[in-house]
Amino acid sequence: MTISIGNDHAGTQYKQAIQEYLVKKGFTVNNYGTNTNDSVDYPDFVHPVATDVETNKVDFGILICGSANGVAMTANKHQGVRAGVCWTKEITELTRQHNDANICCIPARFTALQQAVQIVDTFISTAFEGGRHQKRIDKIPINC
C-alpha cells in the first residue's frame, strides 16, 4: 500500500511519527510535508497529496495541521477526493465506513501523538461499507 502524507508546521512531529509507523508496517510513504516547525502555508503541502489521491497514484492520503479544517477544505477541492477530519477512533471508523474517505485529516492541536497514530491505523484498516452509503457518495461530485 502506498500513502502520501503532508503537513504544515503544526504537524511536523506527528507526520514524522506516523511516517515511521507506516514504514515499519511495510507501507511506501510519499512525504510532501514540511520537516520544520517554521510557519508555512498548508495548501502548498495539501495539493500534492490530493493530486496523488485524485490520480490514483496512492491508496490513501494523510494530512496534518493544527485544526485539520484547512487541509480538509483544500483537499476536497480535488475531484474524487473525500477528505475527512478525524479526531477520534470512532469518527475515523465512520469516515471510512460511511463516507469512503480517502484522505485522513488529523488536527494536531486537538489530538495526542499516540492517538494520531491510532487514527491512521484505524483509517487504513477500516473498509467502506458500501450499500446504502454508495448512493450518497455518488451524489458528492458536481456534474457540470
Interval 71-114: pLDDT, tens: 999 999 999 999 999 999 999 999 999 999 999 999 999 999 99
- Active site residue: 9, 47, 65, 133, which one? 65
Q: 3 exposed, middle or buried (CB, 10 Å; 0-12, 13-18, 19+)?
A: buried
Q: Clarify whether 98 is annotated catalytic.
A: yes
- What confidence tier does 6 reach under pLDDT thresholds 50, 70, 90? very high
Query: Whole-prediction pTM value?
Result: 0.96
Q: Give yes or no for residue 136 having a pLDDT over 90.
A: yes
Q: What's the grid cell of residue 127? A: 473498509
DSSP 125: H
- Active site residue: 9, 47, 86, 98, which one? 98
pLDDT of residue 113: 97
Round the CA-based radius of gyration of the chain to a whole number and report it. 14
Q: Give yes or no for residue 143 having a pLDDT over 90.
A: no
Q: What's the grid cell of residue 52? A: 496523488
DSSP 11: G
> Distances in Å between the alpha carbon of 97 and those of 9, 23, 70, 126?
30, 25, 23, 7
Q: Clarify whether 78 is annotated catalytic.
A: no
The pLDDT tens digits of the residues spanning 7-17 come to: 999 999 999 99
Q: For the chain, which residues make up each domain, given as ranges?
A: 2-138
- Which CATH code fits 2-138? 3.40.1400.10
Q: Give yes or no for residue 144 having a pLDDT over 60.
A: no
